[in-house]
Amino acid sequence: MRILRNIRETELIQILQKYITSSSHMGSNEDAYLIKDQLPYLLVNIDSMQRDSDFLPNQSWDKIGEKLVTMTFSDIVAKGATPEYFLTSLNLEENMSENDLKMLVESISNASAKYGAEYLGGDLGTAKEAVISGIGTGSIPRGKILTRHMAQPEDLVCVTGHFGLTAIGFNHLLKKDSDISSKIPPEILEEALQAVYYPNLRIKEGNLLCSNELASASIDSSDGLATSLNWLSKLSNIKIIIDKLPIDPRLLNYLTTFDDRKTVTLFGGEEFEIVFTIPVSKVEKTHELFEMENKGLTVIGHCEKGSGVYLKKNNNLERIPFSGWDSFQKRVQ
């Protein structure tokens, strides 16, 4: 009999899917799910943080509270929804100070308000090691809800924002790859740490993609760009070719090799950007609407018939593995 730490997280998700009710409107294997399948759509998502696997060095309780809200609403935003309500289950250590509790809850309340949502409270308990969970709800008043299932051959693959800073921040904090983080000057390293501690959501971008029925498929990048692209490929049954790495331009002068740029762009995680596909016929309109709202997007590739994710380099294709952070094995898989 296998134990969980010897099973990849992606395989565990597939096991769970056998027991989960699929939405006829969304299909299976979505992080946020419909609880009302007609306009206005209502969605719900749950996420958790645990001291052992998720808390970072120098991450105070106010940073932890804000991060919980952001990661919980991220999957809802990637569906095109606007955050509305937030609840928590807080299982905390008995020796936690009263001031730390106040700091945590105040940050949850403030972060919820920042995203336009109300914090409604929830459950409180104790644990040997802190485990905090968030439940977020959001709504879509008009448009077509975004899923991971409807990308089509010839669609373009796009992202909001840039990638790489969070990978640098994690490398520095967890000392995972000093060869990369040591190349980054202090001022950019500080920005990388801020990106890790204080991520933001692309609410307006998700709204635009959904309400104007622009995107054919969408997913958030919290598990890393490589993982997100592979989920889109698998669930939409298409092949994805990436010909442009959306690396943060501030890193280009310091990460000069293709392999370093590939590593921080594809395998970082927790950028909370939106990864989406759009038909070629809607590209011009998408750019126009994003520019009107002073928002940016980058076309990084396209879809074809087939399967898998590939990175194009010098007219050669390199397979990008279904690789990202594995919570059970506590390493990138």
Residue with tokens 């009263």: 98
Q: Which of 76-80, 242-246, 301-305, 319-323 has the lowest mean pLDDT?
A: 319-323
98 and 184 together in one domain: no
pLDDT in tens, 39-66: 899 999 999 999 988 999 989 999 999 9
Is residue 184 domain-resident? yes
pLDDT in tens, 70-128: 999 999 999 999 999 999 999 999 999 999 999 999 999 999 999 999 999 999 999 99
160 and 135 together in one domain: no
Is residue 73 domain-resident? yes
178 and 303 together in one domain: yes
Handedness of CA 228, 10, 238, 313 (dihedral sign): positive
161 and 279 together in one domain: yes
pLDDT-above-90 percentage for the chain: 78
Greatest pairwise CA separation for the chain in angstroms: 59
CA torsion 281-282-284-285 (nearest 10°) is: 140
| Structural contact between residues 286 and 155, judged by C-beta atoms closer than 8 angstroms | no
Residue 24: its pLDDT value, please? Answer: 58
Among candidate residues 140, 172, 188, the one where a domain is terminated? 140
Q: Is 93 left (phi over 0), alpha (psi -120 to 50) or beta?
A: beta
165 and 124 together in one domain: no
203 and 326 together in one domain: yes
Taking the C-alpha atoms of residue 61 and residue 49, their distance in angstroms, rounded to an integer, is 12
Residue 3: its pLDDT value, please? Answer: 82
191 and 313 together in one domain: yes
Is residue 150 domain-resident? no
Task: Give the count of domains, the chain.
Answer: 2
Residue 239's CATH number: 3.90.650.10
172 and 314 together in one domain: yes
Is residue 102 domain-resident? yes
75 and 207 together in one domain: no
105 and 54 together in one domain: yes
State if pTM tops 0.75: yes
Question: What is the side-by-side strand order in the sheet with 239-242?
Answer: 217-220, 274-278, 156-160, 297-304, 239-242, 309-313, 316-319
Is residue 3 domain-resident? no
Among candidate residues 140, 168, 199, the one where a domain is terminated? 140
- Stretch 173-192: mean pLDDT: 85
257 and 108 together in one domain: no
Residue 195: its pLDDT value, please? Answer: 95
| Domain extent at residue 82 | 31-140
E strand or H helix that includes residue 311: strand 309-313
205 and 132 together in one domain: no
Taking the C-alpha atoms of residue 331 and residue 47, their distance in angstroms, rounded to an integer, is 19
